[in-house]
Structure 1
Amino acid sequence: MILIVMGVSGAGKTRIGELLAERLGCGFVDGDEFHSAANKEKMAQGIALTDDDRWPWLAAIRTAIEEKVRAGQSLVVGCSALKRAYRDVLRGGAEGDGTVRFVYLKGSFELLHERLATRGRHFFNPALLRSQLDTLEEPGADEAIAVSIELEPEAIVDEVVSDLG
């Protein structure tokens, strides 16, 4: 199983992804590791990424997913996956084969903004939060397990593991 923990910056993708990977006994990779230096520089300058910036990044993550699937290994990935088209790339097509599942970390602008304001060194410029929220196409229940980021991290993981079955 490949589990993608998605949401805008500040939602807790890395923290929740690491906890889920630990609970599920598999590896975790942060999708930010697949961004090009140019993408990171743009975001640091407060310039929103375009689809053209994101396609190679998503393709690189998909390649890593395919490698894990071929090896018969599970993986948790932290990735914003803001649009359905991006999620389609990550799942290997609009329908996918059920191998890739999504967890959507959902929160209010106010809470996300507060988290970003207190976050340590990261290339993401907090001024881009509004742009990410404007880009976000929230997944429906048919596409992702949605969990409120108002819960404590362990409670979020408990809910996700319970929903996974």
Structure 2
Amino acid sequence: MLALGLVLNTLGIGLFCWLIFALAVYALPFFVALSVGMLAFHGGAGVVGALLIGLVSGASTLAAGQVAVAVSRSRTLRIAIAAAFAVPAAIAGHHVMFALSQIGVPSLAWRETFACLGAVCIGGTAWTRLTVFAETRPLESAGVAENMPRPVLTAATHER
């Protein structure tokens, strides 16, 4: 029974870690949905109305962020939007990894180290998942990259 418990605990922690990485990009939309839903509930929208308003606001935040990163031509704007999604994910990752490290790490310094590494990894995952929709473009220095003439290949070039 002890072996089965160890295996199931390991699988459960592994599943939980996979879930954290898979849901990292949704930290900002979840926060927005929760905040707007609570505001709507306290404004008198009721439980169902607040739930619907929260879901719509969270989904629209995620969609707007992904579309803005995908269509933006400004690198600075893309970085700002991706950072807005990655920072809450990194904070959530720090707290999750700190809580998980309390299970088996007695030293506070090592718990903080693992928590900081988790924050970097989970924030980087959120950054990557958001910017995967961004179109890669060549360097745009006054249109030079787009209008470069291609060298003409002659028969003498092929013989060498």
Q: Same fold (TM over 0.5)?
A: no
Question: How does the TM-score come out when normalised to structure 2?
Answer: 0.30
Q: Rg larger in 1 or in 2?
A: 2
Between 1 and 2, higher relative CO (CA 8 Å, sep ≥ 6) is seen in: 1
